[in-house]
Chains A and B, each alone.
Chain A
Amino acid sequence: MSVLDGIYLLLGLMFAAAAWFNLHDRTNPRHLRRALFWALYAATFLFGSWLPPFVVGCLAIGMGLLAGIGGLGKATAVEAAPAQRQAAAARFGDRLFVPALLIPLLTVAGTLLLDKFADGWVAAKDATLVALGLAVIAALAVGLRMLRQPAAVPLAESRRLLDAVGAVAALPQLLAVLGALFALSGVGQVVADLVGRFIPVESAAAVVAAYCVGMALFTLVMGNAFAAFPVMTAGIGLPLIVKLHGGDPAVMGAVGMLAGYCGTLMTPLAANFNIVPAALLELPDQNGVIKVQIPTGLALLLVNTLLMYFLVFRF
Chain B
Amino acid sequence: MLALIGVAVVVLGFALRLNPLLVVVAAALATGFAGGFDVVTIVSEFGRAFTQNRYMALVWFTLPVIGMLEKNGLKERAHAVMARVQGATTGRVLTVYMLIRQLTASLGLTSFGGHAQMVRPLVAPMAEAAAENRYGELPDGTRNLIRAHSAATDNIGVFFGEDIFIAMGSVLLIKGYLEQNGYVLTPIQIALWSIPTAVAAFLIHATRLWWLDRRLKRELERQP
Binding site for B on A (CB under 8 A): 4, 7-8, 10-11, 14-15, 44-45, 48-49, 51-61, 63-65, 67-69, 71, 79-80, 82, 85-94, 96-97, 99-100, 103-105, 107-108, 111, 128-129, 131-133, 136, 139-140, 143-144, 147, 149, 153-158, 160-162, 165, 167-182, 184-187, 190-191, 221, 225-226, 229-230, 233-234, 238, 242, 249-251, 253-255, 257-258, 261, 264-265, 268-269, 271-278, 280-286, 288-289, 291-293, 295-296, 299-300, 303-304, 307, 311
Contact = CB atoms under 8 A, between A and B. Distances in A.
Interface stretch (B27-35, B85-93, B131-139): B27-35
B10 A255 contact: no
B64 A155 contact: yes
Contacts of B72: 85, 88-89, 92, 96, 147, 149
Interface in B52-71: 52-71
Given A176-B49, A300-B204, A128 B111 contact: yes
A281 B70 CA distance: 13
Contacts of B49: 176-177, 179-181
A258 B194 contact: yes
A76 to B, nearest CB: 15
Contacts of A171: 20-21, 24
B21 A68 contact: yes
Contacts of B60: 11, 14-15, 158, 162, 165, 169
B96 interface: no
Contacts of B74: 89, 96-97, 100
B100 to A, nearest CB: 11
Contacts of B17: 286
B6 to A, nearest CB: 7
The 8 closest A-B pairs by CB, nearest first: A68-B22, A157-B67, A89-B73, A185-B35, A57-B47, A56-B47, A154-B64, A64-B25
Interface of B: 1, 3-4, 6-7, 10-11, 14, 17-25, 27-29, 31-32, 34-35, 37, 40, 42-78, 80-81, 104, 109-122, 124, 144-145, 147-152, 154-156, 159-160, 163, 169-171, 173-175, 177-178, 181, 183, 185, 189-194, 196-197, 200-201, 204-205, 208
B35 A184 contact: yes
10 contacts: A14-B64, A55-B47, A57-B47, A88-B71, A89-B77, A143-B68, A143-B69, A154-B64, A179-B49, A221-B7
A277 B196 contact: no
A8 B54 contact: yes
The binding surface of chain B is classed by DSSP as helix
Nearest to A10: B61
Contacts of B10: 178, 221, 269
B114 to A, nearest CB: 7
B65 A64 contact: no
A149 B68 contact: yes
Contacts of A182: 6, 31
Contacts of B124: 281
A155 B60 CA distance: 12
Contacts of A99: 65, 69
Contacts of A85: 70-73, 75-76
Contacts of A108: 104, 109, 111-112
Contacts of A53: 43-48, 51
